[in-house]
Amino acid sequence: MKELIKALGSACCMSLLTMGVSAQDANDLMLANGIGLLNVPYVAHTLDQGDQEELIVNCDEVDCTTFVEYALAMSLCPMEDGQIAEGDFIDNVQRVRYRDGKVNGYASRLHYITDWIDNGVRNGYLEDITAQKSNYEQKVSVYYMTTHPSLYKQLTHSQENVAAMKKVEEALSKETYRYIPKDKLPTNGLPWIKSGDIIAITTDIPGLDISHMGIAFYVKGTLCLLHASTVSKKVVVSRTALSQMLKEAEHWTGIRVVRIRK
């Protein structure tokens, strides 16, 4: 736990944990907490430190998923005078990152975003908005991690972890989800997509479900993405519309929209 506090002691998290976030609406909180992480450097694999799976909280280096997780975890905390408690934040990071909030080996981390969303809906802190609003359906077929083990440190040296992840992939590959195809998303978004919503970008990369994540942010009526950008190498608000980003990304097929529930 002490290393966690050390990580948490970083400027970014402490400023957010103590910053007076006045927003009350949960989506406003998501946006405020996401904006509070602006310019944080993009660093991949921050969670893949040791061989033993443990909760790591590092708000000074984020990728697209950990960025959304930290904003979500902060936004789920009870607030008193615009402040949140450090312990609540750490508990919520574990809650959103691990299946049913339990750290139990590498495969308990919600590696595929279909699993990550399912966990939030099942545990009542996320709402699948695209499931309510869209009739476009996509079958899940995930096998990317176990067919690219060399990209995942904990899979390279552990047949046990590969076998456990294969079970996860098989279970997820029985599911379907609703999404908005890229050509159905206007520049100015859709009336039911709100700033602060979580955007998961669907992909046609074989064996993968989602290939990027961020937070919806309307800027002068244009739906942009607040995200940890692999291009800008930091957390930014996209200078182009999300619809344009989708057009320019060959393997991005559309979006899923999920919303925080407090």
Give the binding site for ligand 2YP (CB under 6 A).
Answer: 44, 47, 63-66, 109, 111-113, 144-145, 208, 210-213, 228, 230
- Of 21 and 110, CB closest to ligand 2YP: 110
Question: What is the C-alpha separation between 83 and 87, in angstroms, rounded?
Answer: 12
- Of 153 and 262, CB closest to ligand 2YP: 153
Dihedral of CA 167/253/250/120: which sign? negative
Residue with CB nearest ligand 2YP? 64
Nearest approach in angstroms of CB 97 to ligand 2YP is 7
Structure tokens at 152: 């995942």
Question: What is the C-alpha separation between 73 and 95, in angstroms, rounded?
Answer: 8
- Of 213 and 242, CB closest to ligand 2YP: 213
**CA dihedral in degrees (235, 239, 245, 249; nearest 10)?**
-70
Nearest approach in angstroms of CB 56 to ligand 2YP is 10
Nearest approach in angstroms of CB 45 to ligand 2YP is 6
Dihedral of CA 61/65/67/69: which sign? negative
Nearest approach in angstroms of CB 258 to ligand 2YP is 13
Which residues make Cβ contacts (< 8 Å) with residue 7, sequence separation at least 6? 13, 56, 57, 58, 59, 60
Nearest approach in angstroms of CB 20 to ligand 2YP is 29
- Of 39 and 135, CB closest to ligand 2YP: 39
- Of 21 and 215, CB closest to ligand 2YP: 215
